[in-house]
Amino acid sequence: MIITDNLRQTSLEAHPCLIQRPFSVLSTPNSLGRYSSSCEADDEQSSDEDSMGPEEYDSRDNQLPIHQDEENRCTSRKELIGWYIYNFAAEVFVICGAGSYLPVVLEQLARENGVLLSDNSTSCGSSSSDPSEICIVHLLGISINTASFAMYTFSIGVLFQTILVVSISSAADHGNSRKRLLLIFAYSGAITTMLFLFMIPKLYFMAAILAIFSNTFSGASFVMLNSLLPLLVRNHPKVLYHKIQSQLEGEEIPSSASPLLAQVSVTETMPIRNKILGELELSTQISSLGAGAGYCAALFVQCASIAVILVMGSSTFSLKMVLFLIGCWWAAFTIPAGYLLRTRQGLPFNSRDTRANIHDTGWLSNFADAWSLLWRRFKMIFQSRDISLFLLAWFFLSDAMATVSGTAILYAKTTLRMKPEAIGLINVIVTVTGIIGAFSWSLISRFFGLKPNQIILLCICLFEFIPLYGLSGFLPIVESWGVIGLQQPWEMYLLGFVYGFVIGGLTSYCRSLFGELIPPGSEASFFALYAITDKGSSAFGPAIVGTIIDKYGDIRPAFWFLALLIGVPGPLIWLLDVNRGKKKVENYQNF
């Protein structure tokens, strides 16, 4: 008993967050022989019903620090709701905006300002032009197919996004700028999306600029949001409870500066391994709920968008009105998200006073630090086999997700000549199946006992079905049938079902899996790398597809490239080992 009491006392003294508050008249002794106040330890004065840990665990008194320079208040239910709400707000732009109507609006504005490729003189906007004919626009002395105009726009956008997210990653990891930057990017993206309402065909180049900025701000805001996920998991009451229980039961656990996944020795026991898998499961659960919330919002907005198009008619103005409503949705639901999310403190600036760094030397020094940090992160990645494998796989996989979406929308509009409301119905199907996928893949994982990387591999195999199905239309026997191989509009609905179900799993599992490989205190800088090819736009895929369209005058040959793009990540994910990668980055925590 004396040994147990000493162990308990040592575990409490070892963690500075375990500070006993002054006793109040409402204080009562708990099972550890200490007193718990009726007030929450967090700044929200949450009720006991807001606790997310086991009933016997009082999360108010047992907060364990992850890093001495980080703000490590226990994750509250309100904070998690705020995280979910921003997914609810911003995923609407990713799914309905960038993934659906934005490519159509860009193509339509360019078409109304372009000429027919056949004679290079007849305006595509004239009543005599055939909607099925290829149109081009002359931009900076270059003739560009209007179908590839949106693809080039997205490629340029991801370059701007890369510069931005890398430049602000240092400021996000150091100090308390994550929440503030998230809100700045969110409202900036929402405003640029709403400005599409005022675009006319003669300003199609300005519309492309707005698309670049809206995609850039969307990606940057998700970098800030995703960088909060590891912190929410590390400070979750369930995680803190199990760490304290491990100490009280005499298990060896990592120091207070340990990463999310505990360091596991060669002689690790099964309970410790179960604890590691439990934290990964919690991260995946939170990520899946966020993705599900975003898909639910996108489903509602997608249905509302179809109603707007039906009421106002299939015109360019109705599509611009839909983008305006998407921007309004994004801005409106960012308000409660900003209210509920906490301002969590990051690491201090090295060898400099944080306040002086921000107010005296300005943001330029932060940008310089960010690019210097990027090089150090790359060196760390090269030394970590598993982070390298994941980021390389994610480079191709996220590129494939974005490129398949944009290519499918343009194929439906230009080749199958589907109307905007029909395209909107495709995205409704994608959204519904995305919701199903976001919640069902975790059930599939538990039922069959599959690891996260195995779920990702299964998603990749299903994803590969989409371009292979389109390529089957090249077979003479299939072409003679006049159906299958994307020869009929209704086939797009079938592929939309597959795409949505796959993306619902990939978005949640990839995000949570990568979060497990990140050393604490470097969330924003690592998620900046993660976001380079994330969320609706990539640098290489759309540009290559646009080049193929310009060369062959048809979108179908691009399916060969998409099949390759989807297949490459499979072997890389197969070789991934999360526990090995986690132990490797622990050695470079302060790198």
pLDDT at 331: 96
- Structure tokens given for 500: 């949505």
Q: What is the enclosing helix (H) or strand (E) of 116?
A: strand 115-116
Q: What gap in Å lies between CA 388 and CA 423, rounded to an integer?
A: 37
Each domain of the chain, given as residue ranges in start order, spans: 77-239+284-347+362-586
Verdict on whether the full-model pTM lies above 0.75: no
Q: Name the residue among 288, 296, 180, 282 with its Cα closest to residue 240.
A: 282
Strand-pair partners of 135: 116
Tokens found for residue 358: 């921000």
- Could you give the CA distance from residue 591 to residue 575 in angstroms, rounded to a whole number? 25
Q: Does domain 77-239+284-347+362-586 have CATH number 1.10.287.610?
A: no
Angle of the 146-173 helix axis to the 541-552 helix axis, nearest 10: 170
User: d(Cα 186, Cα 166) in Å, to the nearest integer?
Assistant: 17
Work out whether strand 35-36 and strand 135-139 pair parallel, antiparallel, or are unpaired.
unpaired
Q: Residue 50: which of 73, 31, 29, 33 has the closest Cα?
A: 73
Helices 146-173 and 204-234 cross at an angle (nearest 10°) of 40
Is residue 184 exposed (0-12), middle (13-18) or buried (19+ Cβ within 10 Å)?
middle
Taken in order 217, 218, 219, 225, the sign of the CA dihedral is positive
Nearest Cα residue to 523 out of 480, 481, 573, 585: 585
Torsional sign, CA 78, 83, 84, 90? positive
pLDDT mean by block of 10 residues, the chain; 591 residues: 45 42 40 37 40 39 42 78 93 87 88 80 65 76 82 82 76 71 94 93 89 90 83 76 66 46 41 51 79 87 90 88 96 94 65 42 62 70 79 85 83 84 85 84 86 89 91 84 85 91 85 77 68 59 83 85 91 85 65 47
CA torsion, points 35, 47, 58, 62, in degrees to nearest 10? -90
Which pLDDT score, from 0 to 100, does residue 45 have? Answer: 40
Q: Do the strands 115-116 and 35-36 form a parallel or antiparallel pair, or are they unpaired?
A: unpaired
Distance CA(129)–CA(113), nearest Å, equals 13
3-state secondary structure 380-398: HHHHCHHHHHHHHHHHHHH
Q: What pLDDT is recorded for position 206?
A: 92
C-alpha span between 466 and 470 (Å, rounded): 7
